[in-house]
Amino acid sequence: MKGQAVVIDAIFFMLVCGMAATALFWAGSVYGNKTYEAYKYMYLNDYETSMIAVLGEMSYKDGDTVRYWMTELGEYMKGTFNESSNRYTLLQENFQKLCVQAPAPVLLIVSSPTPGAKRGYCPFAGGKCEKLYFACGRLLDNTWDLSLNETIQNSDGTTTYVVNETKYPYYSSPVTSKMCSTLRCEMVTKIYY
């Protein structure tokens, strides 16, 4: 009888040890993962901020004319040219040149609170808010298999997709304000890691 009691105590001890071990393992994993995730987000934030900064400086040639991407974006939003124009094609093509450099698929969302914007006008005071989306090639790839619910344009202007932004995990930069031509543009970048 004494021996039986000791064995029962020992089994109880084993169960307690097992529970303690599981709790320890779980806590260690959670802490390790949280720290790793924090640095990953720090990197993504740095990347997104740098990407918007590069968009602000990026330029390209349209014949003999040097065009700045951010200025061209503003002109497009003001209605100076539309999707059938070569300027729009160059705008999209040059965005693609930058966004394929990203470590993961990128979505750039642009809007402007300035009343002069014919496209992407999103007033501060409320009312109908329109946004423009620039999606990177990988987001538009069939293998990515996005199920979508917002409209974006393909880089060649011919295919329309919509993005269900809640389906895939992403990191979003804070809203960055930039001057695009004479408009003020509010920009958000999302990286789908």
Partner 1 sequence: MIKGYLGPLGDDFPAIFPIALGLMFFFGAITITYQNYDMKQEMTTLMRANLALSKAVRTQLEFDPEFWETACNVLEDTKANYGVMAKMGIIEVKYVEDGNYETNPEYEGYELEEYIYYDDNGYPKTIEPCGDLMEKGKPIPKENDFVVVMYYPVIIKESGVNKPVTLVIMTWKA
Residues that bind partner 1 (CB under 8 A): 2-3, 6-7, 9-11, 13-18, 20-22, 24-25, 27-29, 31-33, 35-36, 38-40, 42-43, 46-47, 50-51, 53-54, 57-61, 66, 97-98, 100-103, 137, 141
Q: How far is the CB of 108 from partner 1 (least distance, A)?
A: 13
Q: How many CB atoms lie within 10 A of CB 34?
A: 9
Nearer to partner 1, 13 or 179 (CB): 13
Contact status, residue 191 vs residue 44, Cβ threshold 8 Å: yes
Q: How far is the CB of 98 from partner 1 (least distance, A)?
A: 4
Nearer to partner 1, 31 or 160 (CB): 31
Nearer to partner 1, 90 or 148 (CB): 90
Nearer to partner 1, 2 or 128 (CB): 2
Amino acid at 128: K
Contact status, residue 55 vs residue 69, Cβ threshold 8 Å: yes
* Residue 142 DSSP SS3: helix
Nearer to partner 1, 9 or 83 (CB): 9
Q: How far is the CB of 112 from partner 1 (least distance, A)?
A: 23
Provide the β-strand partners of residue 153. 134, 160
> Within 13 A of 181's CA, how many CA atoms are on the CB side?
17
Q: How far is the CB of 63 from partner 1 (least distance, A)?
A: 13
Helices then strands, counting H and E runs in the chain, come out as 4, 9
Q: How far is the CB of 122 from partner 1 (least distance, A)?
A: 26
Distance, CA of 145 to CA of 141 (rounded, Å): 7
* Residue 139 DSSP SS3: helix
